[in-house]
Amino acid sequence: MRRTALPSFLACVFGGFMLLGALAGGCAKSSAAPDTSIKCTPGSYVYCRCKNREEGTKLCNEDGHSFDICDPCETPSNPGLPDDPDKPPVAIDASADGSPQPTAARCGDKTVQDGEDCDDGNAVETDGCDSTCKLAGADPLATRSCPGLDVHVWSKPVSYVGTTQGSTNTGSAKPTCPGTGSGNPTTGAAASDRVFRVVAHKTGQMNVVTSDVGYDSFLYVTSSCVPGPGGELGYLACINAKSGVGGETLQFPVTAGKAYSVVVDGAGISQQQGAFRVTFSIP
């Protein structure tokens, strides 16, 4: 005799006492219901901390129980620490107009916040980050090797003025940057350079522009500082569009929370080093 499936209603109540559950809204699911406990106010900010113990802020999502990344410290290699279930996240006071905002940046606290290019916690004016948390210094040690001097890019452009003279040769781009426009193929192997570890605080297109340049500049960006046997660095993007003295514009996609090493290098066989201004922005 062919056996037929029970109607869904009877399947729910077949066990007798399951009738009340069926009438209340159907059969019980085998998996537990998602945690929808209210942990925060949607659209508000709370304090957070990352694995390296740096502090930041994170935005409460619309569901009221999950958060965006812990900004600015959270990266794939430096994850945000989970909240203590016994200690609810501490909310940040709302601004005068009622919209919640992160706390104002406090230069010198070693926590980089919106409005700061950097924050090394000291008042040394020549180490790459000055007492106002802006990029500064003619020969910062961190710019002499990969990953480079920390630069944090938020909603406003960030600029550094310096020179490649007196710096080291970090390595060379591999493969050879093909060059566009009048620019020639180059690796930057014979020129001194400066390196910047640029942290994106929004997802979009990063623009790196060199201007006020006194030499034949060349730009490339890498996500890895592991050199090849000859010191070569693989790159995500490169640009050498101009032959001779002048600036360049490099564009590449970025993801919020990730860091990218940008190399300001020299091209050609003469005028390979000199003064420059470099500006980082995410429009």
φ, ψ (nearest 5 deg) of residue 12: -70, -40
Q: Which residues contact residue 9 at a Cβ distance below 8 angstroms, ignoring those fewer than 6 apart?
A: 22
Q: Tens digit of pLDDT per residue, the chain (283 long)?
A: 444 444 444 444 444 444 344 444 444 444 445 555 667 887 778 888 888 877 788 888 878 888 888 888 888 888 988 887 766 677 765 444 444 455 555 788 888 988 899 999 998 899 999 999 999 998 999 999 999 999 999 989 999 999 999 999 998 999 999 999 999 999 999 899 999 999 999 999 999 999 999 999 999 999 889 888 888 899 999 999 999 999 999 999 999 999 999 999 999 777 889 999 999 999 9
pTM more than 0.75: no
Three-class SS state of 143 = helix
Domain ranges of the chain: 36-103, 141-281
Q: What is the 3-state secondary structure (H, E, C) of 72-99?
A: CCCECCECECCCCCCCCCCECCECCCCC
Q: How far apart are CA 138 and CA 274, in angstroms?
A: 12
**Domain 141-281 fold:** Jelly Rolls (2.60.120)
Three-class SS state of 58 = strand
